[in-house]
């Protein structure tokens, strides 16, 4: 489990005194890293319902930040944002705004804003978090690497792919130096780097980075961890760009199976996986195979993406394109109209 120095000192002291809640806290963190997010949230919630886990502002805020992290993975973006903001409020009330815990909470808020599609605000908050992290964390601390990663992802979303790549490389270096205890985070850093490579038109480098991510995760995570879905999606995208359609199609069934089993049928990540699979069929003009995948992706997106989310708009545009190719012009026109509404919504100040 990753801790800032103040919270670590407190928990270590309480462990030495035999405080049972600290063991529960570590168990919750272990569940979170194993991908058992709902079980982790249940433990965190129980901890915060009783003293003394919430008696110290930094420990209380840190637990809320961890809960926000789990809720992001579950697709509960609004709830994650609320938890991260509450952590920041608690720290501000305790006059602990110049701490690493505050930076960590800001990083989680940025991640929640990004998941909601609020890329501009996410980038701003991620920059603030990293700036504070530079003052309160070691440049080789794993949590500093996570803050670097969060800013990299927001730069990627706002079109600064070169800056995102540089930050992803920095995160890789941090986690490599952290050793065996950070294999999971190193895998995530390689996965994030792979996404940037794919976006920059470097698909072979993306495949190589994904393979490094999977190698790290094979050493650090249980089989079929939810993170594997991210890797498979990125690999499918990269193979599609390489026009290696056979390899991409061979991966699609496993990617979609894992997306449903690990995230659930209605999770936003499943919508992304469905869209990535559909893109392979669109590239080969297999519109009949792409249509049901995009139809389901749109339905999931409408239920779970916040209003104005750019991923929902992109999915609608792709679905309309496929419907047009299938000579379903009225349905295609409705999809385009919905996409225009989403664009207009995002432009409202």
288: closest CA among 333, 240, 326? 326
| CA distances, 148 to each of 46, 119, 141, 171, 218 (Å) | 31, 16, 11, 6, 24
Output the DSSP codes for 76-113. Answer: -HHHHHHHHHHHHHHHHHTT-TTSHHHHHHHHHHHHHH
The 8-class DSSP code of residue 181 comes to G
Average pLDDT on 4-13 reads 44
For domain 249-349, the CATH superfamily is Tetratricopeptide repeat domain (1.25.40.10)
Neighbours of 119 (CB within 10 A): 19
- Given a contact cutoff of 8 angstroms between Cβ atoms, the answer to whether 170 and 206 are in contact is no
CA distance 281 to 259: 18
CA distance 34 to 46: 19
Show Cβ contacts of residue 215 under 8 Å, excluding neighbours closer than 6 positions. 187
- How many residues belong to the chain? 349
Query: H-type helices in the chain, by residue range?
Result: 5-16, 20-33, 37-48, 57-73, 77-93, 100-115, 119-136, 142-157, 161-178, 183-199, 203-220, 227-241, 245-263, 268-283, 287-304, 310-325, 329-347
Higher pLDDT, 243 or 303: 243
Q: Binning pLDDT at 50, 70 and 90, where does residue 11 land? A: very low
Ordered by start, the domain boundaries in the chain are 162-222, 249-349
In the predicted model, is pLDDT for residue 19 greater than 70? no
246: closest CA among 197, 202, 283, 273? 283
Neighbours of 1 (CB within 10 A): 15
The three-state secondary structure class of 166 is helix
Q: Average pLDDT, whole number, for the chain? A: 89
Q: Binning pLDDT at 50, 70 and 90, where does residue 228 land? A: very high
- What does the pLDDT read at residue 179? 85
Give me the long-range contacts of 85-91 (CB less than 8 A, separation at least 24): 85/109, 87/60, 87/61, 87/62, 88/61, 90/57, 90/60, 90/61, 90/64, 91/57, 91/58, 91/61
The burial class, CB within 10 Å (0-12 / 13-18 / 19+), for 216 is: buried
End-to-end CA distance of the chain: 39
Show Cβ contacts of residue 132 under 8 Å, excluding neighbours closer than 6 positions. 98, 100, 102, 103, 106
**Per-residue pLDDT reduced to its tens digit, 36-57:** 999 999 998 988 876 666 778 8
* Model pTM score: 0.89
- What does the pLDDT read at residue 168? 97
Average pLDDT on 54-73 reads 88
| CA distances, 183 to each of 101, 234, 256 (Å) | 23, 19, 25
Q: In 242-280, which positions are buried (b, 16+ CB within 10 angstroms) versus exposed (e)?
A: eebeeebbebbeebbebbbebbeeebbbbbbbbbbbbbb
- What does the pLDDT read at residue 89? 97
């Amino acid at each position: 489990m990753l801790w800032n120095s103040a919270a670590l000192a407190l928990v270590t002291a309480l462990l030495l005194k035999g405080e049972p809640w600290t063991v529960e806290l570590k168990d919750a963190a272990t569940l979170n890293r194993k991908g058992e997010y709902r079980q982790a949230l249940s433990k965190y919630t129980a901890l915060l319902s009783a003293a003394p886990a919430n008696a110290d502002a930094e420990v209380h805020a840190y637990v809320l930040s961890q809960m926000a992290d789990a809720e992001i993975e579950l697709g509960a973006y609004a709830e994650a944002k609320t938890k991260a903001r509450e952590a920041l409020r608690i720290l501000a009330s305790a006059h602990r705004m110049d701490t690493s815990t505050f930076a960590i909470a800001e990083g989680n808020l940025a991640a929640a804003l990004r998941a909601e599609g609020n890329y501009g605000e996410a980038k701003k908050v991620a920059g603030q978090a990293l700036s504070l992290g530079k003052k309160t964390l070691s440049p080789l601390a794993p949590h500093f690497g996570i803050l670097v990663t969060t800013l990299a992802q927001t730069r990627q979303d706002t079109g600064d792919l070169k800056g995102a790549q540089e930050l992803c490389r920095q995160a890789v270096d941090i986690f490599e130096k952290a050793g065996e205890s950070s294999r999971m985070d190193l895998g995530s850093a390689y996965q994030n780097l792979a996404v940037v490579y794919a976006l920059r038109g470097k698909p072979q480098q993306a495949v190589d980075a994904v393979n490094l991510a999977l190698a790290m995760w094979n050493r650090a995570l249980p089989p079929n961890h939810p993170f594997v879905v991210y890797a498979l999606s990125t690999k499918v995208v990269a193979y599609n760009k390489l026009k290696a359609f056979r390899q991409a199609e061979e991966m699609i069934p496993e990617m979609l199976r894992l997306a449903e089993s690990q995230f659930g049928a209605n999770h936003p990540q499943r919508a992304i996986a469905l869209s990535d699979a559909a893109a392979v069929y669109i590239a080969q003009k297999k519109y009949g195979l792409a249509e049901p995948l995009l139809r389901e992706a749109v339905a999931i997106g409408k239920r779970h993406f916040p209003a104005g989310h750019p991923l929902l708009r992109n999915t609608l545009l792709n679905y309309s394109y496929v419907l047009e190719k299938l000579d379903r012009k009225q349905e295609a026109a409705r999809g385009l109209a919905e996409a225009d509404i989403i664009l207009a919504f995002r432009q409202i100040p």
